Structure formats: structure tokens, C-alpha cells
A and B are shown apart, each in its own frame.
Chain A
């Protein structure tokens, strides 16, 4: 009697642990990938990059916030000042990127979500654009800052006193009486956190599914060998 009772108890215990292990192993990577997707979607609504221009006659400074699809803040005033050095209007920068950015990010998020249902290394391939995305954004930003700083209108009022320059992507710079401070916005920080979360997610994804994939492969090989 006692033995039967004990063995039943053991069976139940093993079942609970199994469920818990299964949950951690298979649910965690899915959750992390979906969290990554969510962070990317949320980041659309937040500024990615911001610049403050400080000068004596602007006690509160001038602020420009760059979102993936728009620019806000003192854009008009900064454009007005930039005309003195012959810099194009900010609106002309990254027009193509801004036009498809929202759709592109939604696609990135969908690809990540797909990784939840794809239980092999292809999940990692699908997640790759999302992982690289923050670096791509910054590289594009740097490209546009360089392009703007090096395409000054030679007929502008201050063209002789301002040499072509690249405004810093991050950190401080000086142009005329303006001290500029460029920094990451909460949107880009979220995208970076998303990259990190996705990498961890993929690591758990691999830990959960690699043994299964390997086991299947081994089984397939064994079947092959038996048939052969």
C-alpha cells in the first residue's frame, strides 16, 4: 500500500516540475522576442535623437527632436538660423527613410513575432534586422549630419566664415555662437534595449529548441542509417 501511495506521489511531483521546466524553457524565449517587438513598436512614438543648441540669445536653448517619421521642436527657428550658413532645411533630410520608417518597424516587429512560431535557427535570421536596427539608425543619422554639414550653400551670408563640418551624432559641438549637445532619445534607447532583449531571447530560444532540432536530426540520421 505504502509503496503504491509513494510512487503515485512521485509521479505527481515529476509532472509539476516538468510543466514548470517546459514553461521556462519554451515560454521565456517567446516572451522575450515579443517584448522586443513591443519595445520597437512603442519606440515609434518617442524621439530617437535630440539636439539642443545653446546661445546667449536663446536662454532656454533651441531643441530639435527627431522621431523615426518626423521632427519636432524649434525646427523652424533652427532652419532660420541655418540659412545664414547655407545649410538646407531640416525637412529635406532623410525624407525617404521617414516615409517608410513606420511600416519598416512594424515589419521588424512582425518578423520577431514570427520567431515565436519558428523553432529553428531561422528565428535568429528573422530577428537580425531588429538587432542591427539601432546601429543602422545611427549610421543613417551620421550620414545625414555629414551630408548637411558638407553641402553648405557657397552663396550663403556666412559661407566665408563657416567651413564645412559634421555636427556630432552624440556629444557636444560648436558652430558659431552655438554650442550643440546631441543625445540619444528614449526611442532609440528602447530600440537598443529591444536588441539586447532579442539577443537574450534568441539565446533561450536556442537552448530550448536546439536539443529538439538536434534530436530530430539524430533521429533522422538514425532512420536514414537503418534504411540504408
Chain B
């Protein structure tokens, strides 16, 4: 799983490949269509596509010679999930900091754990 995600991120670390992905988000396209805006050979674009394909970001249908390239949107959902998990962890850390800061506001003697800070969480305060 970790390797899978690393591949995705590595594939997207390149600006040309990000451009290609952005283009494919609009619609499927053939290799020559993808190569058109760039000052590079079709072979170079094919290389980029190979990296994107290995990362599971794009796929190519086997139909006829055109073989349009298709963006696999689900892979982006995976990335979003991973980043959200990281965010969630940071948020948990900062909620602990909230609690500490509330204590600092109340002074060392009177610590009110249930102190009402306007955070949009469910009312699970004890």
C-alpha cells in the first residue's frame, strides 16, 4: 500500500506528467494528442505515460491503433484518503494543544477540561 502511494506521488512529482494528468481529467486522449502541446517527441510522452501507467494513474485501452489514454480517478481518491489521515493525526495533536492552552488560560490551579471552546465537534464533552 505504501509503495503504491509512493509510486503515485513520484509519478506526479514531474510537471509534464502533472500537465498530462490535468489534460486527461478533461477527457481521454491519444498519445499524439497529449504530445501536441509539448516541444517533445511522442517517445518522450510515451515514457511519461509509462510512469503514470505503472503508478496506476492512467490506463490505455487495447482498442485499435488509437488506444486512448484514460485517467483512473480512483487513485486520486486513495491519495486524498492518505492525506486526510495525516491531517486527522495533526488535528488530534492540536486538540491536545487546545486542552493545554485552555488550562493555561485558566491558570494552573483551576483547570476546566470541559471548557467551552467553539470547535465544531459533536457534543461529546464530558
A binds B: no
Q: CB within 8 Å of A: which residues of B?
A: none
Q: CB within 8 Å of B: which residues of A?
A: none
